[in-house]
Chains A and B, each alone.
Chain A
Amino acid sequence: MSLFSTWKELRAKGIMGINQRNADYVLRYNQRHLYPLVDDKIKTKERAVHAGIHVPPMYGIIDSDKQISSLSEIVKDHGDFVIKPAQGAGGDGIIVIADQFEGYYRTTSGRLLSHDDIEFHLSGILSGIYSLGGHRDRALIEYRVTPDPIFSAISYEGVPDIRIIVLKGYPLLAMLRLPTRQSGGKANLHQGAIGVGVDLATGITLDGTWLNKFINRHPDTTNPVRGVQLPFWDGFMSLATRCYELTGLGYLGVDMVLDKDRGPLMLELNARPGLNIQIANDAGLAARCRKVEDEIDRLATKGINKPSPAKRQAFCQREFASQCLPDQLGADSAPASENKGISSI
């Protein structure tokens, strides 16, 4: 196939390229001065709490070397917790403590850390080892998310998360990101995690993408990733939709998790979300963006400049519903017996 025809077919399908994303969406809808809001997880979290959006509860903030010693005070009521650099990128510098034991901290991988180790790590975070550009940073101590058991069959370690791309408060595409052995438990597609498309209307998973290829089974568990009904789907959708009002950023990737006890929680926001979500959904972002922009124009002519989040969500769930939903329980793939228990609530 010639490159030219590839180009034309991609255009016809409304696939968004990086240049188009940067010029037409990121630069146009995301004002620079709003970036710190999403780059700093503490600021995002504070805003979200204020707006009534569910986030993993914050146990404390450490923003100076003096406060490092107060860690034990902060976590004394919590057996498990997560330490994160506020401005970290790519999941660096995150320590997940599963358990406290005789003054030691046990990470999820089973390693025991002494109090000194943790304090050293915290001072590293503060000095900006993990932050973009090496700025001084703050450390965030927060609730440890326990993934809902529904994901156990289709993920390998780590916490799967759900990303929804939102344009001006209209959710466009959704993707479930599943850690693999290769990604080292991180839900980052660059590092080898799987992205699985999700139908916006129903929350049922579609096919997946792994390293720019289509796949339909998890490479570690060999279970099909298709046809899984995500619980609380409308909750996720409404969460993502409301993040527009939260930040004012017009083009946004909202990362969420499903906690066993607390349900959908917003983890972080991304002002430059990646494009692989298109492969996961087999759908073009540009095409959907155009539809949403038309809708915004249509409403504007009718004098509606700020449609309610519920209306926007309804519009997208109506317009962007998947045409061919997979049968639940994945009847078209893999022995049905293996899929029991993972595909529904």
Chain B
Amino acid sequence: MDNKPLFIAGHTACAGCGQSLAARLVIEAAGANTIVANNTGCLEVFSTAFPESAWNVPFIHSLFENCAAVASGVEAALKFLGKKDTTNVIAQGGDGGTADIGLQALSGMWERGHDILYVCYDNEAYMNTGIQRSGLTPFATNTTTSPIAEKSFGNPRPKKPMPEIANAHGIPYVATASAGYPQDIQRKVKKAISIKGPKYIQIHVPCPLGWRHESALTIDVAKLAVETGLYPLIEYENGKLTARQIQPKPVEEYLKTQGRFKHILNNPEAIKQVQEVADRNIQKYGLRLEKSA
């Protein structure tokens, strides 16, 4: 794995892009015997502009919403060729391509039981088109289509519970991960590809431009999301839940790092509602690390 870089420099992601960082970690963990199918989105645009490509593995981009189906076809073809046992298939896309427009194809891929790892790079809005809200945009986020104004204080809805939707399909492995925990991403990818069947990993990837934070803070911001309980790191192995324990920090510590939440910092009621999202996560997944001596 160390001998040949699989995702190389020269791609045109913004400085400090959490997605480009996570994408490299994923493909390095999966290894060279991997075929990648990618939805339309930032990742595909910044890594495969003709005549160049940042990928050193076979890579296909077709459309915005169909990488799960394209990957299903790749997997079926590999089975026909007798090559499936020696080749990993990864389908990947952003949060919009995964949880919104691509959800039907993804659900089909899960239900049919294809031996594919699906990776969702969750930067919590349509960043490629300029920060429009998606089904994975968190509550109260200021985006260009959930703006702040007299009658709106940002996105009115919480994130769509994709890990639960994935788990409800009865697939053998579901996990969330975070750009703030690079080794954890790679551990989960390696575990996922060692399991036969459909897998889902959703990685929280800060977008300095869309979230409005300094590019050097990508890792710190991602960590705070985990440490506040707003982005729980969980795994479902055959439906059995394990979670990374935290000593929860108040959500303000996370919110104040980003311009997209600036408007609610002086709004105790809104902060309370965000804290409730974190508290629900903490309870639901048993995130609280019990203090012991």
Report whether chain A binds chain B. no
